[in-house]
Structure 1
């Protein structure tokens, strides 16, 4: 069964999160995903609050930029949230927008190497292993979690955000799932799944690898105009770029197309000028979700 989510965009002030998370939870939405974009909001702090305010909602952070983060601390935060809210916290790592990383004094010469080292160390720590590593960027000396989250695959899973071929193959090799941004069309999902599977084969990985796809979505009387403006902001073709505008049937059709292309979870991403985020998450849960069963 397709899992459906929505994005809480960090361009909204943090104090809006409570009402939106509760609306999503009460309406029966499967997932709510957050971003740690510079220099807006902390993904981990926001996720902790959203989890505490809700009862059943899966909360994901996609993505945490690893140049800003120490792997031991990120793993401790993840393990803590997974013990507090079993089965409800998903975390994705990315190499960060390099301009932002430069502003923060954290830019890496080889972002893909940093992401690989961070993924390898974090997944090992979450599995309860004692880790010593002397990498190009990640250095740990006899580190183990006192409170690892458990041995269920959901407890140890780490996603990677990926777009280019190297990052997608890396995600297949070193991550447990992949987050694809809203600039990915269905053909891009198919190609991403192919490259991820190449990476998995190269690393002899087995088991399921979840693909989470953000789908740019606009609904309401001015939906087409808002989606067109969103595409322009993202440098896409304003008429034929990725995304969907319309009512529940049109959105459900776009979700089904993404699933047919290889997505497991589709997360509806409202436009930057979405006028009513609470209504948007209820629309996703109450109007779109039933059409996917």
Structure 2
């Protein structure tokens, strides 16, 4: 069965549980197969999001590469904006940047935990958007402090800025401050419908009427042992899907009907064939949606 007008975009994740030297093979497989997006993560203490994204972009000509997410307590906003602008100048319209609170235990381990993650994310996104727009910024917030800062090389057009969250206050904030929201693989269609309502509340509070993209990760496994691998995942087991391309396409359809604009297939941490996984996404699932 082919589902018409299901989602505009299908992507996949390169999980940082794989060593960095595996990235190029997965990236090249995704590009060759015609996958639309490949997402990388900046999880502590595995791989850096900017480093992996820039390498993936340099090895490809068409593939869009998302970072979901950059933990804002780890990165000064001026540095993150410089790196984002550099990616967009070198690889126009192909880098997708997501911001998030970071896992609080990890932030505590490195001495970067914020007392109010919501305040930090708000201040950070507002400053970053202004800098990306080429503005000169002075601000004295609770966390973000800039004095007469402007980029010498802002992007030639202001790129979309994504944010990701799980709690209701933060999801509402995503609607207020970002152009798109990234939701985890624990997101069932029911949770997604509630999140969409919170996002819309945030957009309304900010007086926004422009489109807001919702990106949802979908824990996915196929082939031998797929069901067992999904069941072993603590975060995504309840929302994940194990099976063939038809089974995965049906799960994508359910998320799309609940409000997802982009679905990103997330392999299990022990996926035995990451190159085959991105080919499965592009050649098996995508034609069905």
Query: How does the TM-score come out when normalised to structure 1?
Result: 0.95
Q: Does 1:127 align with 2:124?
A: no
> Could you say which residue in structure 1 is the equivalent of 2:50?
44
SS at structure 2 position matched to 1:40: coil
Match of 1:169 in 2: 172
On the 8 A contact 1:2/1:259 being kept in 2, the answer is no
* Structure 2 residue runs without a partner (length 5+): 1-6
1:185-206 deviation line (CA, Å, top 9, x unaligned): 1111111111000000001012
- Decide whether the 8 Å contact of 1:6 with 1:32 is kept in 2: yes
Output aligned runs, 1:117-196, within 5 Å.
Answer: 117-151=123-157, 155-196=158-199
How many residue pairs get aligned? The number is: 283
Would the aligned equivalents of 1:227 and 1:271 in 2 still touch at CA under 8 Å? Answer: yes
Select the residue among 272, 275, 278 that pairs with 1:278: 275
In the alignment, structure 1 residue 258 sits paired with structure 2 residue 261: no
What is the CA-CA distance between 1:150 and the residue it aligns to? 2.2
Please name the residue that 2:14 is paired with.
8
Q: What is aligned with 2:214? A: 211
TM, length-normalised to structure 2 = 0.96
**Distance in 2 between residues matched to 1:68 and 1:226, nearest whole Å:** 31
Map 1:44-63; keep pairs closer than 5 Å: 44-63=50-69
Deviations 1:133-158 (A, max 9, x none): 0000000011111111123xxx4311
Q: Secondary structure of 2:223's partner?
A: coil
Structure 1, unaligned runs of 5 or more: none
Would you say the 8 A contact 1:3–1:30 is kept in 2? yes
Tell me, in whole angstroms, the C-alpha distance in 2 between the residues paired with 1:123 and 1:287. 37
Partners of 2:258 and 2:28 in 1: CA distance: 31
Indicate the residue corresponding to 1:86 in structure 2.
Answer: 92
**1:22-42 CA distance string (max 9 Å, x none):** 100100000000100001000
Q: Quote the RMSD (CA, aligned, Å).
A: 0.9
